Structure 1
Amino acid sequence: MNGDWLLRGRDGRLTVYLPSGEAVLCRAERGPGGPWEDAPRTVGGTQKLHPGAAVGQGADRYAHLAAWRPTVPGESGLVHTTHFRPLLAPLDWVPIGHPDKKGDRTGPPAVAVDGPGRGYVFVRNAGGGVSLRNQKVKGGWGGWLDLGGQEIEERLAPVAAESGRVELYACAPGAILHWHQEGDGKKPVRAAEVEAAVRPGTLRALATSAEHTTVFFTDDSGDVCAWRPGEKPVPLLAAAGPGPVSAVRCVIEGHDCTVLAQRSASGRVAFAAYPTEQESAGAWWTESGPQLPSDALVAVALDEHEELVAASLSPSTGTLLLTRRKDEPGLALEAWREI
């Protein structure tokens, strides 16, 4: 999944979204804190999908998902659905077209949700730039918008700022590009870029204050770095492993902290925390849990008590593990358990 596949619904229940062959599955807590549903459910009906779905969540805690579906031989189109509450069935997939009108897949979609709850689906187009289709202020969907850019890497990192306006980060050769909205519902405009040698597939964006969003990435030297537009990228710590980090803000002992999680080179999940937007304070990894398969994914979120919860998923085995923060000082975690 592209995006935060571990989410808390507006009723406090956690949901995980899982890739499964030609479908996306969801599985939710029966009540806040568990237990979980015995088996996952299919999202969006019987529509067959290509791998690589995306998920995003708004301030209303509704989940929006987008994916490619096969249409005619050699061609595909994008579809979208909304999941309002964890124990309700998501809506059926709705076709939203192709950024180039027709053709095959051009890159994995990415999803953000603005303050009023409208979905934004970003995808690289056939020309190597970025295209966007979003829900309109008065309902329905607007047309496809070309946001520009050249030689954009496939994986995009959208984020909703605390203002509710949507921003987008993307990589081009030797640079990170940034788009933002200048008003509610407005077309995002290219705002800034910075020179950076980014490992493909490692961008992860997070709203970190009322004024800023921060994008995390791994550079060619192997460091996890943080960048906020208008500043210079800051190396934070050496990457624990090869994939992207998952990130969330939470309060730890009264301090606003950013927590990063990543599957480490040893196969375990590594966590690091530091005061939000204070990268100069430094951070270091602490490993947790059992060794995981090489394809394991890691996600972090906040539970119904605003405490850290983390999950790992191995698509090859289907094993889903979960841990929560203990009621102890620091970032102490419970034993990982399979759900």
Structure 2
Amino acid sequence: MNGDWLIRGRDGRLSVYLSTDDAVLCRAEHGPGGPWDAPRRVGGTQKLHPVLAVGQGADGYAHLVSWRPTTGGESGLVHSTHFRPRLAALDWMPVGHPDKRGKRTGTPAVAVDAQGRAHVFVRNTAGGVSMVAQKEKGGWDPWRDLKGGDVQEELAAVTGESGRVELYAAAPGAILHWRQEEPGAQPVLRETIEADVRPGTLSALATSPDSTTLFYADVSGDLCAWRPGGKPAVLLASAGPGPVRAVRCELDGYDCTLIAQRSASGRVAFAAYPTEQESAGAWWTESGPQLPMDAEVSLTVDEDDRVVAATLSASGGQLFLTRRKDEPVLALEAWRQV
């Protein structure tokens, strides 16, 4: 899964999305902080490939993107919008293929601009990045080739506080950054820096009115943060091999960035530091039960602005959840299976 699959809907309820062998499932709180409903299939009965990208707009709507099999062993991308966690999502609608037709080309990424328009990014057959975006009054614009070369499969799409969409991608020895110059415009490649990124570790977060921050693990094992226009900063050693997740939250009155990663021991490791102040340092604290190798971590804040963390295993289908206690620093409740 690509993106934050644990989200808070506009009604305050939390929901999670899970990609299975041929479908996307959703689980949601029956009410804020309450019990959870059983998993429900999203977007109708179409069969899908086991891949999912999730993005959320300022309106709270979730935008889901996956690949579906078509004819002759080929595939096409599909999109669904989920307006509220306990309502049915819209049916999957085709949005095409970056090369007009063919097999899957990579894991998609999706971000939603200030006008509520989904922007879908995916690697194309040539090794660059292509994008398709919703029109403001319905339908989709044509596919656009954003260029780039030899990009890794997973991309990191993010919407800045300005409402403009940005994209990060890794290539051999480099990180590439695209950004919209104005709302609705095609993102342009703004900057490329030297970096040796470990595949599958990109995660981006809006961290100020003018900046987004990319988190990634490098091949030496360090967890790094980079904002375009500057140089990457080493935060600390990676806790484990998996992807990094990040969320902004208030801790003891300070605007902080909380990061989480599945640790080498199989538990969840957390670290926090003042937002955009990587020089302040951070350190890992492990929490929760030992998890399966395929377990993923996601972070959000609930309607009371408390940090919520979830882990989900596709092989076991087990969902574990914890919230921050009403105590100083980052004290978490006991993890519980829901």
3-state secondary structure, aligned to 2:208: coil
- In the other structure, the counterpart of 1:57 is 56
- In the other structure, the counterpart of 1:100 is 99
The one-letter amino acid paired with 1:79 is V
| 1:13-162 aligned within 5 A | 13-37=13-37, 39-162=38-161
User: How far is 1:131 from its partner?
Assistant: 0.3
Alpha-carbon distance between aligned partners in 2 of 1:55 and 1:190, rounded to the nearest angstrom: 23
User: How far is 1:318 from its partner?
Assistant: 0.8
RMSD: 0.6
- 4+ residue runs of structure 1 moved beyond 3 angstroms? none
| 1:260-279 aligned within 5 A | 260-279=259-278
User: How far is 1:138 from its partner?
Assistant: 3.0
Alpha-carbon distance between aligned partners in 2 of 1:184 and 1:171, rounded to the nearest angstrom: 25
User: How far is 1:137 from its partner?
Assistant: 2.7
Please give the per-residue CA displacement for 1:230-255, whole angstroms capped at 9, x wherever unaligned.
Answer: 00000000000001111000001110
3-state secondary structure, aligned to 2:279: helix
- In the other structure, the counterpart of 2:249 is 250
Please give the per-residue CA displacement for 1:282-321, whole angstroms capped at 9, x wherever unaligned.
Answer: 0000000111111110011001111100000111111110
- In the other structure, the counterpart of 2:4 is 4
Alpha-carbon distance between aligned partners in 2 of 1:269 and 1:62, rounded to the nearest angstrom: 28
The one-letter amino acid paired with 2:35 is P
The one-letter amino acid paired with 2:84 is R
Alpha-carbon distance between aligned partners in 2 of 1:150 and 1:23, rounded to the nearest angstrom: 31
Percent of aligned pairs sharing the same letter: 72
| 1:245-324 aligned within 5 A | 245-324=244-323
Report the TM-score when normalising by structure 1. Answer: 0.99
- In the other structure, the counterpart of 1:185 is 184
Q: Is the 8 A contact 1:33 1:304 kept in 2?
A: no
- In the other structure, the counterpart of 1:237 is 236
Alpha-carbon distance between aligned partners in 2 of 1:66 and 1:20, rounded to the nearest angstrom: 14
Alpha-carbon distance between aligned partners in 1 of 2:3 and 2:191, rounded to the nearest angstrom: 22
The one-letter amino acid paired with 2:156 is A
- In the other structure, the counterpart of 1:204 is 203
3-state secondary structure, aligned to 2:63: strand
- In the other structure, the counterpart of 1:218 is 217
Alpha-carbon distance between aligned partners in 1 of 2:48 and 2:287, rounded to the nearest angstrom: 34
The one-letter amino acid paired with 1:256 is D
Q: Is the 8 A contact 1:218 1:224 kept in 2?
A: yes
3-state secondary structure, aligned to 1:280: helix
User: How far is 1:94 from its partner?
Assistant: 0.3
Alpha-carbon distance between aligned partners in 2 of 1:141 and 1:224, rounded to the nearest angstrom: 37
Alpha-carbon distance between aligned partners in 2 of 1:138 and 1:317, rounded to the nearest angstrom: 41
Alpha-carbon distance between aligned partners in 1 of 2:136 and 2:36, rounded to the nearest angstrom: 36
The one-letter amino acid paired with 2:267 is R
Please give the per-residue CA displacement for 1:17-39, whole angstroms capped at 9, x wherever unaligned.
Answer: 011210000010011111111x1
Unaligned runs of 5+ in 2: none
The one-letter amino acid paired with 1:213 is T
Please give the per-residue CA displacement for 1:238-284, whole angstroms capped at 9, x wherever unaligned.
Answer: 00000111100000111000000111000110000000000000000
Greater displacement, 132-141 / 12-21: 132-141
Unaligned runs of 5+ in 1: none
Alpha-carbon distance between aligned partners in 2 of 1:289 and 1:99, rounded to the nearest angstrom: 41
Aligned residues: 338
